[in-house]
Amino acid sequence: MGRHNDKPIGHGLNEFLHSNARVGKGYDTVRIEKIWKNHMGATIAGYTSKLYFKDGLLKVYLTSAPLKKELLMGKEKIINIINSEVGEELVTAVEIF
């Protein structure tokens, strides 16, 4: 009899996402957008016009200048929230525009 490579489906999906860079980047962006909406709340999400993630850098585009100023002071907190929710060191820097 041959050997089986039985793995949990979550493990197989994680391997696929990490081996396919294009799909992995899109998946990471969607996860970050979902975390942003859940943890920042409806008000901040409403003022967020765009989130862009690439190579550890999260760019956040806002439509409110006072909110931009407030979030600039909390960049480390944003990084910690997203990384703890994702379970890995995904975001290394945040830029607010």
For residue range 48-88, what is the model confidence (pLDDT) as tens digits?
999 999 989 999 999 999 999 999 999 999 999 999 998 88
Say what the pLDDT of residue 1 is: 53
Predicted TM-score of the model (pTM)? 0.77
- Place 28 in a pLDDT band, splitting at 50, 70 and 90: confident
Which positions ≥6 away from 41 have C-beta within 8 Å? none
Domain ranges of the chain: 9-96
For the domain with range 9-96, which CATH number is right: 3.40.720, 3.30.519, 3.30.70, 3.40.50? 3.30.70
CA dihedral 38, 43, 49, 54 (to 10 degrees): -30
- Place 8 in a pLDDT band, splitting at 50, 70 and 90: confident
